[in-house]
Amino acid sequence: MRIRRVGGAVAVSAAFLALAGTVIAVSGPGGRSAVETPAALPQPTPATAYQPSTSAPATPSRTARRPTTSAPAGTSRAATSAPHPSAPTASARPATAGIPLPVAGTVGNAQQLITVAAPSASSTQAIVQAWSKTSAGWTRTGPGLPAWLGYGGMTDNAREGFNGTPVGSFALTQAFGNNADPGTALPYFQSGPDDWWSGDSASPTYNTHQRCTPASCHFRTDLSENLHDIGWVYGYAVVIDYNTAPVVAGKGSAFFLHVTQDKPTEGCVSVPQADLVRILRWLDPKAHPRILMGIARS
């Protein structure tokens, strides 16, 4: 979904920074502390680690409805940024084999899974967790990650023009980004000025990737996203296959797992860039990866 304008420098909140490592503290019997070390996700190399840009991305000249974002800078939130609710914390349950998934849903033949668990339907924040399927059941892979959802929270009635994040189970089959392929096994394209995601519900191209010059596009570009002009927020992204098979006009378009702005989205799920690079390197199409999004089990 469309990216809102960022008013200035942004930074990950202190609550989010506690989840940056791969070791999670848990409370043992009688209040004693213990640690769990989930299976590690691939680590980014210095070439692909998060490097904030020192200049803003290109400004779209064709439509006012396709805003850009400012590159992150510094380590403090701009004074004009609105405060946001405190982030939910990751689950502290031991990472033993076969533990229940935090979100209910059907995952088919997936051997890799990403869960997005929100504390309530109205929440704009959630915990993203990667899982691997073993003979004993699902086990955590890496730590729980702080994530942002749509301004409209989570919804089972996603639609064009509403900024909620859809509830459900969806395949992960395609990745892209303004940056070069970080080493993912998923099909990946590096987006350029002619790469679009059609948001024109009256066009047969609706909710699909298209490559065309503005003059030759067979859809309304003012209703669509130019993937390149969005800027660093789409430095890396994984397509969430919502409303893809079949595509239903008006049921929503352009839902991605992408780089966070440290604020709610237009319906996408966003996480820190270094974590997204690790996820991209872990995802394997042979494992039929899916994303399961919903309200966390009580």
Number of structural domains in the chain: 1
- In the chain, pLDDT over 70 holds for what percent of residues? 69
Does residue 77 lie within any of the structural domains?
no
- pLDDT at residue 145 in the model: 97
Dist CA 273 CA 176 (whole Å)? 13
Selection from 18-32, 72-86, 133-147 with the highest mean pLDDT = 133-147
Buried b (16+ CB within 10 A) or exposed e, 185-202: ebebeebeeebbbbbbbe
Does residue 7 lie within any of the structural domains?
no
Please, which pLDDT band fits residue 172 given cuts at 50, 70 and 90?
very high
Domain span at residue 239 reads: 14-41+102-295
Does residue 253 lie within any of the structural domains?
yes
Does residue 88 lie within any of the structural domains?
no
Dist CA 269 CA 262 (whole Å)? 11
Q: Which pLDDT tens digit goes with each residue over 250-260? A: 999 999 999 99
Q: Which pLDDT tens digit goes with each residue over 68-105? A: 444 443 333 333 333 333 444 444 344 445 789 999 99
Phi, psi values for residue 279, rounded to 5°: -65, -45
The answer to whether 197 and 208 are in contact (CB under 8 A) is yes
Does residue 134 lie within any of the structural domains?
yes
The answer to whether 131 and 115 are in contact (CB under 8 A) is yes
Does residue 177 lie within any of the structural domains?
yes
Does residue 284 lie within any of the structural domains?
yes
pTM of the model: 0.74
Phi, psi values for residue 75, rounded to 5°: -125, 15
The Cβ of residue 19 has, within 10 Å, a number of other Cβ atoms equal to 20
Does residue 289 lie within any of the structural domains?
yes
> 31 vs 19, 21, 28, CA distance in Å?
21, 22, 6
